Amino acid sequence: MKFEKYIYKKKIKELPEELLPREKALKYGIDSLTDNELLALSIGQGIKGLNVLGLADKILKNRSLKELRNITLEDLISIKGIGKAKALQILAIFEIAKRMEEEQESIIFNNPEDVYQFVKELSKERQEKLLAIYTNTMNQLLGKETIAIGSLNVLNAMPRDIFFPAINLNAYGIILIHNHPNGLPEPSKEDIEFTKNIKNLAINLGFELLDHIIIGKKGYFSFSSKGLL
């Protein structure tokens, strides 16, 4: 916490590049940013005595962005240093997110092809990424999360990173998706073992792993379609 307070009072241009949301997003993708970094990038500027990362932290107060969806103008202007203009800028960000979420509710995944069409941009990625899609009992989209990025080796993903959003979203189904930048979507032994482990954990936690889809340069591999789930 002392370190965070120290960097929050520094000017943004004085911070190392790895701490800057804009540079991190350009290097690793926008979905690599934390909630704090996303909010900071959206706000753009800090206030007197507090840089934009510190201001974002002050607004979040250890909460997720989702928990702030109903924040009010009065809540924001009660924070020292935030005026009406800055508060309205922040509220606009959350309102955009709400409206996009409302549109997401109409997305239904009836088969692996629907999932592939939804995330096929992964085929163009140069880095491996593991995503998780969360659905209700009607297979409607509740949310999408980036679980891991980089040289994944079956993603080095922690199960909690997959299941924590499922709990928050009160989801029923989970669909895992990851890409093979080398272009071949066939699963490795590690992919198969990883999928079995997640499936067993899902059952124990009351969720259903609906599919694990691997995306290559051309096409995809569906574990459910191949009878591997």
What order do you get walking across the sheet with 141-149 strand by strand?
141-149, 129-135, 173-179, 208-215, 220-222
Mind listing the domains of the chain with CATH numbers?
2-104 (no CATH), 112-222 (3.40.140.10)
- What does each C-alpha distance from 74 to 55, 77, 88, 121 come to in angstroms? 16, 5, 10, 40
For residue 219, which phi and psi values (nearest 5 degrees)? 95, -170
Average pLDDT of span 154-182: 88
Q: Model confidence at 213, in pLDDT bands (50, 70, 90)?
A: very high
**pLDDT above 90 as % of the chain:** 36
Q: What is the pLDDT of residues 78-126, one digit of tens each?
A: 888 788 888 898 888 888 877 776 665 678 999 999 999 999 988 988 8
- In which region does residue 220 sit, left (phi positive, over 0), alpha (psi from -120 to 50) or beta (all else)? beta
Q: Which residue has the higher pLDDT, 202 or 28?
A: 202
Q: Which residue has the higher pLDDT, 99 or 175?
A: 175
**pLDDT above 70 as % of the chain:** 93
End-to-end Cα, the chain, rounded Å = 43
Q: What pLDDT sits at residue 205?
A: 95
Asked if residue 50 has pLDDT above 70, the reply is yes
Measured CA to CA, the distance from residue 102 to residue 141 in angstroms comes to 10
Tokens 């899902």 correspond to 202
Q: What pLDDT sits at residue 6?
A: 62
Q: What pLDDT sits at residue 151?
A: 60
Q: What pLDDT sits at residue 102?
A: 64
Average pLDDT of span 67-80: 84
Measured CA to CA, the distance from residue 176 to residue 109 in angstroms comes to 13
Tokens 């954990």 correspond to 201
Q: What is the pLDDT of residues 152-162, one digit of tens each?
A: 555 567 899 99
Asked if residue 21 has pLDDT above 90, the reply is no
Do 220 and 213 meet the contact criterion of CB atoms below 8 Å apart? yes
Asked if residue 16 has pLDDT above 90, the reply is no
Q: Model confidence at 51, in pLDDT bands (50, 70, 90)?
A: confident
Q: Model confidence at 3, in pLDDT bands (50, 70, 90)?
A: very low
